[in-house]
């Protein structure tokens, strides 16, 4: 049986990983220009915000939902961490 602390660690790692994948996936598939990459990151941030603050609030129980803000922040860590590393390696 997994405890709450371990579940939270796995959950936040997943939020960050999916955020990074949502940004790096289109870059790998379509190789868009810099303006499109920034637009993709902003769109994924908006989608993550709607998912965490609207969808989860309405359709998940409090036990499953956890902290909306913490989940959103880990999405942002994944999104902007991946974006930073991409820009750093492609300057």
Domain residue spans in the chain? 4-89
DSSP three-state, residue 90: coil
pLDDT at 72: 97
| CB count in 10 Å sphere of residue 36 | 13
Determine the straight-line distance between the first and last CA of the chain, rounded to whole angstroms.
46
User: Is the model's pLDDT at 29 over the cut of 80?
Assistant: yes
Nearest residue to 79 via CA among 48, 55, 56: 48
- Confidence class for position 1, pLDDT limits 50, 70, 90: low
pLDDT at 68: 93
Please give, one letter per residue, the 3-state secondary structure of 1-52: CCCHHHHHHHHHHHHHHHHHHHHHHHHHHHCCCHHHHHHHHHHHHHHHHHHH
Judge if pTM exceeds 0.75. yes
């Amino acid at each position: 049986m997994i405890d709450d602390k371990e579940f939270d660690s796995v959950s936040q790692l997943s939020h960050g990983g999916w955020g990074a994948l949502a940004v790096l996936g289109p870059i790998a598939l379509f190789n868009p220009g810099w303006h499109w990459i920034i637009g993709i990151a902003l769109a994924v941030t908006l989608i993550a915000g709607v998912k965490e603050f609207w969808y989860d609030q309405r359709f998940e129980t409090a036990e499953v939902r956890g902290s909306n803000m913490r989940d959103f922040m880990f999405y942002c860590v994944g999104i902007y961490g991946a974006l930073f590393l991409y820009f750093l390696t492609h300057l």
